[in-house]
Amino acid sequence: MEEYTLDDPTLLLQAASDFGHHPGVHSDASAKAFLHRFPLPVIINVLQTKADVPGVESTLVACLERIFCTKHGASLIPQYMVSCLLENFGENTVPAAQLIVEHDIYPLLLDCLINGNEQVATASMDAIKSLAGSFEGMEIIFPANDNEATHLRNLAARCSSLGRVRVLALVVKLFSVSSSVASLIHNSDLLNLLEAEVCNTDDTLVTLSVLELLYELAEIQHGTEFLPRTTLVQLLSSIIGNTSMESILRSRAMMISGRLLSKENIFKFIDESCVKTVISLIDGRLRSLESQDADECESALETLGQIGSSIHGAELLLLSSPPAARHVIDAAFDRQGRGRHLAALHALGNISGETRSENKIMLNNDAEESLQHLIYESASKSPKLTPSGLFLSVLQQDAEVRLAGYRVITGLVARPWCLMEICSKQEIVNIITGAHSETTKIGMEAKYNCCKAIHWVFMSSSKLTSDPALTGIAEKLQEAVRRGPYLARKLQEAQPVVMTADRF
């Protein structure tokens, strides 16, 4: 392919002339192919810098007109043009926001958002998000006059259901820009739009789409500060407890609650009673016959695990009456239903402290007593009879279950009773310290972290290190830690074999 340079636009002009005068309608594929050779910024740059070259303007404008008639070309207009304005804003130029206002560009972006195809709507959304990065841009997006037609609340009110979902998706995207933008959204009551849409149960697909947006919203770090000021938690609780709603909606409400309530600082902004209500409702779902719905059951267990990832959350799960954590523990060691089994194991890993920092693993005395009691009670009701039997059973299963098992032991082993259970089963030690039990990177790392946790607790106990009967375990743990997570799986190089030739 002939090389193109900005100094000589001949090749571009020839290609643009061919594209612009091509008979018939161009396809998205042909537009993509042309823009792959000559990206849009290059074409715009030539228009700006080579306007004095004969035929440049008429040729390139005709070419761009054909490009923008395709769906792919049209999708580039909102994002590129606004981004270009913002990137080229300088001290000696007219402010980008002023140009956007003077040429009435923002209403066009909103029109692309609600009426364009998916590509165009996404590009428009990205462009508006870029605009929100400046103070002047924020003034355009959040006008002081609430009656402005471009106010997002007014725009949503006159949209189709698809348009409203797109406006709400824009609100979520803007919420992630910064804490100051999130504050403007909260103060403009735009979060109420999401709540109102969830309350409207006439269209399950729309409700599910908005729940997905709330799930994304709950992940945003500064969302912890603003979301509890709304009625979101109460709304989610009403969905979880509504047995007449479809299971998938209850499941998503649980997952959103779990993601929000897993935040370490959430209890600074939300009343503990709200969390207890969510826990109680999920406990009720798991106790009911309807909780046999596999997806809902897995969502419920995963949500309890998310809540239990923080110390306060774990203590609430273990000290509620009856303790909601018993569902997690019973399901973790019950092999009925693979998804349920895995979800419960990972949830127990969170509750036991595997995701918490070293100084935040242990819970208060009452919660620790409840945790130990529930695990021993679960073991006594199973054929394994002891926690060590339960742990071994998990580690003897497939790789995905073993991974979850390593996480559980990594968290639990900080408790002396769990360490003694581990040491009482040589088979457990052999699996955890074995050189070839895992073949995947994530599996090797999980096993190594588990081994390190056991080794650290073991070596911290003078009673165990001085016990001659446990010397072999100490040596195995030390060797496995020294070896590292990957060294055991180092590929063996092929060795030449020398042997005498067969003679007839």
How many residues in the chain? 504
Output the six-digit token pair for 502.
Answer: 């067969």
- Residue 91 is predicted with a pLDDT of 46
pLDDT digits (tens, 9 = 90+) for 210-245: 899 988 988 888 888 888 888 888 889 999 988 888
Judged against a pLDDT cut of 50, whether residue 493 lies above it is answered with no
Judged against a pLDDT cut of 70, whether residue 74 lies above it is answered with yes
Buried b (16+ CB within 10 A) or exposed e, 272-300: eebbebbbbbbbbbbeeeebebeebbbbb
Judged against a pLDDT cut of 70, whether residue 192 lies above it is answered with yes
DSSP structure string for 85-130: HHHT--TTS--HHHHHHHTTHHHHHHHHHHHS-HHHHHHHHHHHHH
Judged against a pLDDT cut of 80, whether residue 92 lies above it is answered with no
Judged against a pLDDT cut of 70, whether residue 5 lies above it is answered with no
Q: How does DSSP classify residue 500?
A: P
Q: Is the dihedral of CA 324, 326, 329, 331 positive or negative?
A: negative
Neighbouring residues of 314: CB distance < 8 A, sequence distance ≥ 6: 307, 308, 325, 350, 351, 353, 363, 367
- 127 vs 252, higher pLDDT: 252
Output the six-digit token pair for 42.
Answer: 């290059």
Judged against a pLDDT cut of 50, whether residue 93 lies above it is answered with no
DSSP structure string for 40-77: HHHHHHHHHH-TTSTTHHHHHHHHHHHHHTSHHHHHHH
Output the six-digit token pair for 187.
Answer: 């103060």
Alpha-carbon gap, residue 93 to 112, rounded angstroms? 27
pLDDT digits (tens, 9 = 90+) for 243-282: 888 888 899 999 999 988 988 788 888 888 889 999 999 9
Q: Please report, rounded to a whole number, the percentage of residues in the chain having pLDDT higher than 70.
A: 89
φ, ψ for residue 434 (rounded to 5)? -65, 150
Query: Average pLDDT of the chain?
Result: 84
Q: What is the mean pLDDT of residues 65-94?
A: 66
DSSP structure string for 424-446: T-HHHHHHHH-SSS--SHHHHHH
Q: What is the mean pLDDT of residues 402-428?
A: 93
223 near 179, Cβ under 8 Å? no
pLDDT digits (tens, 9 = 90+) for 331-363: 998 877 888 899 999 999 999 999 998 889 999
Q: Which one of 1-5, 71-75, 109-113, 152-156 scores highest in mean pLDDT?
A: 152-156
- Residue 504 is predicted with a pLDDT of 40
Q: What is the mean pLDDT of residues 8-27?
A: 84
Alpha-carbon gap, residue 97 to 82, rounded angstroms? 10
Q: Please report, rounded to a whole number, the percentage of residues in the chain having pLDDT higher than 90.
A: 32
Judged against a pLDDT cut of 50, whether residue 478 lies above it is answered with yes
- Residue 279 is predicted with a pLDDT of 93
Residue 226 host element (H or E): helix 223-226
Judged against a pLDDT cut of 90, whether residue 137 lies above it is answered with no
- Residue 10 is predicted with a pLDDT of 81
- Residue 51 is predicted with a pLDDT of 66
Q: Which one of 44-53, 137-146, 359-368 scores highest in mean pLDDT?
A: 359-368
Q: What is the mean pLDDT of residues 447-473?
A: 86
Using CA atoms, how far residue 217 sits from 59, 182, 280, in Å, is: 46, 11, 24
